[in-house]
Amino acid sequence: MLSRRRFNQFALASASAAALSPVLAQNASPITLWGPPVAPTALLSLAAQDEALQEVYPGISAKTWATPDQLRAGLANGEMPLVMVPSYVAANFRNQGRDVGLLNIMTFGLLYVIGKDDSVNSLEDLIGKTLVMPFKQDMPDLVLQTLLAKAGIDQDQVTIQYTSTPPEALMLFLSGKADVALLPEPAVSMAQIKAKGLGMDVQRRLNIQELWGSYMETKARIPQAGLMVTREFYETQQPFLQALHQPLQRALNLCDENPQLAAERTADILKAPVPVMAASIPQANLTITHASEISEEILEFFDVLYQLNPKILGGKAADSDLIWSMPA
């Protein structure tokens, strides 16, 4: 016998399927939602598991890309026409001549400075410290450079060690070779859980998103990552893009209301332990916000990055042509 809740879920899926059934024939092969192995990709995985969406688009799945080279190849060969990327990557690809657009923002920032004691409570407290972080001259680094400059701190006053990946930075920090680390989620949650097993207490000392809002006199958030789409997919799959928004919203609701369950349903695809994902999801500032609704905020953020490193956007500033409307 169906419970009332199960019946309502089934009814919702059936109603959605009935409303969207004419588009089923347009999709001969299953659609794949691609994202990096970070917390916001949980939203793609949960959306792909959504009963209503599966009813209309059987076999839809979510997968992760691991390296920029894999992302570039997937875009070039058509394997990844719809993919979550760091938001500036969409601008970079477009400025390199690829016909892509940014559809939405799925996280308003994943960056934190962590430490083993309470000696760091402000940017000024970083002076004289050794900080380890991944991705030199990439977005996290440029954000930190901007904040230090706004705070009147010469970057030479902080000893910064760079690594190629967050796990490398995490291990250097835990091994005692740095006082603090600037890491994204879920590396921050991983650091805290690993540290506990080693008898250490690691805490978030600085919330980069809040500092950004304070020093830049804007909202306490960073439009860090979102869905990028190719022109061909955008023009040929309008019904799918229309259908995708509600499953993504339901995925966001689940992450907000029950991060443990969301972690259990998505840990495999993200190749992260369930406890790490359960701790990470509430700290990941997840959102489903149409890029067209905050286009000015996105472009202003890109302009800050461009002023420090033009190469990050492909050698020229981004413009409004990058921002595409999610089909209504």
Does residue 173 sit in the same domain as residue 146?
yes
**Is 212 inside any structural domain?**
yes
**Is 5 inside any structural domain?**
no
Residue 2 scores a pLDDT above 70: no
Closest CA relative to residue 139, chosen from 318, 325, 309, 326: 309
CATH number of the domain enclosing 67: 3.40.190.10
Q: Are 80 and 44 in contact (CB under 8 A)?
A: no
The pLDDT, as a whole number, for residue 9 is 39
Average pLDDT (206-219) is 97
Confidence category of residue 1, pLDDT binned at 50, 70, 90: very low
Does residue 95 sit in the same domain as residue 234?
yes
What is the phi-psi region of residue 97: left when phi exceeds 0, alpha when psi lies from -120 to 50, beta otherwise? left
Average pLDDT (265-294) is 95
Residue 21 scores a pLDDT above 90: no
The pLDDT, as a whole number, for residue 13 is 37
Average pLDDT (282-289) is 97
**316 vs 181: CA distance, rounded Å:** 31
Does residue 187 sit in the same domain as residue 283?
no
Does residue 233 sit in the same domain as residue 165?
no
Does residue 236 sit in the same domain as residue 281?
yes
Residue 10 scores a pLDDT above 80: no
Task: State the pairing for strand pair 180-184/130-134.
Answer: parallel
Q: Which residue has the higher pLDDT, 9 or 84?
A: 84
Average pLDDT, the chain: 91
**Is 273 inside any structural domain?**
yes
Angle between helix 139-150 and 295-308 (nearest 10) = 80
Of 70-84, 99-113, 117-131, 289-303, the poorest mean pLDDT is in: 70-84
Task: State the pairing for strand pair 130-134/159-163.
Answer: parallel
The parent domain of residue 158 ranges over: 111-216
The pLDDT, as a whole number, for residue 66 is 85
Residue 79 scores a pLDDT above 70: yes
The pLDDT, as a whole number, for residue 123 is 98
**Is 15 inside any structural domain?**
no
Does residue 103 sit in the same domain as residue 118?
no
Closest CA relative to residue 53, chosen from 11, 20, 8: 20
Confidence category of residue 68, pLDDT binned at 50, 70, 90: confident
Of 74-78, 80-84, 144-148, 285-289, the poorest mean pLDDT is in: 74-78
Average pLDDT (59-76) is 91
Number of domains making up the chain:
2
Average pLDDT (182-209) is 96
Average pLDDT (161-169) is 94
If 0-12 CB within 10 Å is exposed, 13-18 middle and 19+ buried, where does residue 13 land? middle
Does residue 65 sit in the same domain as residue 52?
yes
DSSP 283-310: GS-EEEEEGGGGHHHHHHHHHHHHHH-G
Average pLDDT (97-121) is 97
Domain C-terminal end among 159, 194, 216? 216
The pLDDT, as a whole number, for residue 67 is 83
Does residue 91 sit in the same domain as residue 183?
no
| Global confidence as pTM | 0.89
